[in-house]
């Protein structure tokens, strides 16, 4: 088996993966141990990116459903498939999702399925569209054009490696995922050097994963960890630092899809055995920026919790784990009551009980309130750079507590009745608690906390295609479309 080379993030001085693995979590962390990011000198391309002087937002969109997607055929960088009618509809919904954003430029893969998606989303905008061949989909060589069943039959062991260990997958003398990561890294200087504040990039599943991964310093072993659905929208913010160092990178949203993220689908063709739905409680207090230790939700927060409970009717929720703070307990209560009431509807329905559990391992408000910089941290929305607003003691306390919470959640998910496969566990807490759980899922270190953003009332979805004992897949983060008129726009005005 070939080992992975060390991974160089596009922005250096950031070692996100953990250098040590807790003994009791070995079974869940082995997948991340093959490549620990190391520190390297800045390359010329990184210096170019570090010179940016204005905040830049980059919105990544995967193309709509294509004819080969529909057939289950491996596309790679081939250019034979085109958008289906469903794919065109998905692209039009994404156009509506982004209609109020004043993009300065659109970079697109030149492959037909991506180019057509970009044209639909771009609409009547007069700004330029720039085709970039480096944004093409992953090169899969002899795999391209095969139905997945044919791939298994023709390339048995290689196909197994592609499914189970894609970073070490070798075909025709190439390592496609490693090549893709290198190519994605080389795309960033061109994207970020463009004189614009808001950039649209329309490309493909694998290359968008690689763009996201290289932006926040994740190596090729993270392929398939950040899901990209057809026409899913992901948002990255690049904020300059006062000292002129590499910009701060924040994954504001991941995989905002035309349909509800709970409406089904798969993780790389595999149904999730278990799910964790991270629900941020609604806005608390008077909506100010003071991180009070334990405030109930205000009226807006109550509305947000009700909207979330309605969205979760797409699932059969078996258990809810929540923080012991007032807003989380309120939100969990609304969700459980709606679930139990829905279970009684219909002639053949029978009442059911949703197990609810409180845990102080999800409490973060006390950590924030003890920090000597807590006045700058909002209880309603975690803004880019929030990690620097907490002192080192608070960051360490947050990280250690979230590690215990994550292990407890996985143990509980593993112990649930095997017959309930496909059921969901809902976890309710403060946005900062859920950011920490996402970072724990990805096996990052505490510095990785600063690379995510969540809003009050949002949901994020983690799936386990191979069960809770194996790595989780992040289906989406910071989804707020269900909040209706109270939702946070996918992109905010610059």
The highest-confidence range among 281-295, 409-423, 431-445, 459-473, by mean pLDDT, is 431-445
**Picking from 133-137, 385-389, 470-474, which range would have the lowest pLDDT averaged per residue?**
385-389
190 C-beta neighbours (distance < 10 Å), count: 15
Fold for the domain defined by 23-256: Rossmann fold (3.40.50)
Cα 341 to its chain centre, rounded Å, is 31
Q: Which of 285, 288, 262, 287 is nearest to 275 (CA)?
A: 262
Q: Residues annotated as binding site?
A: 62-69, 113, 148
Q: What is the DSSP string of 225-276?
A: SB---TT-EEEEEEE--TTS-SPEEEEEEEEE-SS-TTS---BTTB--SEEE
Q: Cite the residue boundaries of each domain of the chain with CATH code 3.40.50.1240.
A: 23-256, 274-486
Q: Is 453 a catalytic residue?
A: no
pLDDT class for 12, splitting at 50, 70, 90?
A: very low
The more confidently predicted of residues 291 and 369 is: 369
CA pair distance 65, 229, nearest whole angstrom: 9
User: 């085709």: which residue's tokens?
Assistant: 131
What average pLDDT does range 178-207 have in this prediction? Answer: 95
Q: Which of 114-123, 182-191, 483-492 has the lowest mean pLDDT?
A: 483-492
Q: Which among 86, 484, 452 has a CA at the least distance from the CA of 311?
A: 484
C-alpha–C-alpha distance, residues 454 and 15, integer Å: 22
Q: Model-level pTM greater than 0.75?
A: yes
pLDDT at 104 over 80: yes
Q: 383: burial class by Cβ within 10 Å (0-12, 13-18, 19+)?
A: middle
Question: Catalytic pick from 2, 126, 137, 463?
Answer: 137
On the CB side of 13, how many CA atoms lie within 13 Å of its CA? 9
Q: How are beta strands 248-256 and 274-280 bridged, if at all?
A: unpaired
pLDDT in tens, 337-347: 999 888 776 55
Residue of 445, 71, 450, 436 lying closest to 248 (CA atoms): 450
Share of the chain above pLDDT 90, in %: 62
274-486: which CATH topology?
Answer: Rossmann fold (3.40.50)
128-138 pLDDT per residue, tens: 899 999 999 99
Residue 12, token pair as written in the block: 């250096």
Cα–Cα distances in angstroms (integers) from residue 314 to residues 262, 317, 424, 480, in the given order: 6, 9, 11, 15
Biggest alpha carbon distance in the chain?
A: 68
- Tell me which of 40, 42, 45, 63 is the catalytic residue: 63
Rounded to the nearest 10 degrees, the angle between the axes of helix 392-415 and helix 431-441 is 70
- Sorting pLDDT into bands at 50, 70 and 90, what band is 376? very low
375 burial class (0-12, 13-18, 19+ CB within 10 angstroms)?
Answer: exposed
Token pair recorded at residue 189: 């200087």
Residues marked as binding for substrate?
A: 62-69, 113, 148
Tell the burial category of 85 from Cβ atoms under 10 Å away from its Cβ (0-12, 13-18, 19+): exposed
């Amino acid at each position: 088996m070939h080992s992975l080379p060390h991974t160089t993030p596009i922005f250096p001085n950031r070692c996100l993966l953990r250098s040590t693995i807790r003994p009791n979590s070995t079974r869940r962390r082995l997948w991340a141990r093959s490549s620990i990011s190391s520190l390297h000198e800045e390359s010329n391309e990184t210096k170019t990116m570090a010179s940016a002087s204005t905040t830049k937002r980059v919105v990544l969109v995967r193309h709509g459903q294509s004819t080969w997607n529909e057939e289950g055929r491996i596309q790679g960088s081939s250019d034979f498939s085109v958008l289906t009618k469903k794919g065109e509809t998905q692209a039009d919904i994404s156009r509506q999702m982004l209609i109020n954003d004043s993009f300065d430029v659109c970079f697109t893969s030149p492959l037909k399925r991506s180019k057509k998606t970009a044209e639909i989303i771009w609409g009547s905008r007069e700004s330029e569209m720039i085709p970039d061949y480096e944004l093409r989909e992953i090169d899969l060589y002899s795999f391209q054009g095969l139905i997945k069943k044919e791939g298994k039959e023709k390339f048995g062991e290689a196909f197994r490696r592609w499914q189970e260990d894609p970073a070490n997958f070798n075909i025709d003398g190439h390592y496609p995922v490693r090549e893709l990561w290198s190519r994605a890294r080389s795309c960033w200087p061109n994207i970020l050097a463009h004189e614009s504040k808001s950039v649209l990039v329309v490309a493909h599943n694998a290359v968008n994963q690689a763009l996201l991964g290289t932006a926040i310093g994740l190596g090729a072993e993270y392929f398939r960890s950040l899901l990209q659905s057809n026409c899913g929208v992901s948002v990255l913010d690049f904020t300059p630092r006062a000292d002129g160092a590499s910009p701060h990178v924040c994954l504001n949203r991941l995989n905002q899809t035309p349909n509800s993220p709970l409406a089904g689908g798969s993780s790389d063709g595999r149904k999730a055995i278990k799910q964790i739905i991270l629900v941020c409680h609604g806005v608390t207090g008077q909506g100010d920026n003071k991180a009070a230790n334990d405030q109930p939700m205000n009226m807006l927060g109550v509305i947000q919790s009700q909207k979330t409970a309605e969205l979760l009717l797409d699932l059969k929720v078996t258990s809810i784990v929540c923080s012991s703070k007032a807003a989380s307990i309120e939100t969990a209560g609304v969700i459980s009551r709606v679930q139990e009431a829905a279970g009684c509807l219909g002639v053949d329905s029978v009442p059911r009980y949703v197990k609810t559990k409180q845990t102080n391992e999800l409490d973060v408000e006390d950590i924030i309130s003890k920090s000597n910089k807590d006045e700058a941290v909002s209880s309603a929305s975690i803004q880019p750079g929030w990690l620097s607003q907490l002192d080192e003691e608070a960051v360490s306390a947050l990280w250690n507590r979230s590690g215990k919470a994550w292990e407890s959640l996985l143990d509980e998910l593993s112990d649930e009745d095997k017959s309930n496969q496909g059921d969901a566990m809902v976890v309710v807490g403060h946005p900062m608690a859920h950011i920490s759980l996402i970072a724990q899922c990805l096996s990052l270190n505490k510095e990785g906390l600063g690379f995510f953003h969540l809003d009050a009332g949002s949901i994020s979805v983690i799936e386990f295609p191979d069960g809770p004992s194996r790595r989780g897949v992040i289906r989406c983060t910071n989804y707020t479309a269900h909040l209706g008129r109270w939702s946070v726009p996918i992109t905010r005005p610059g």
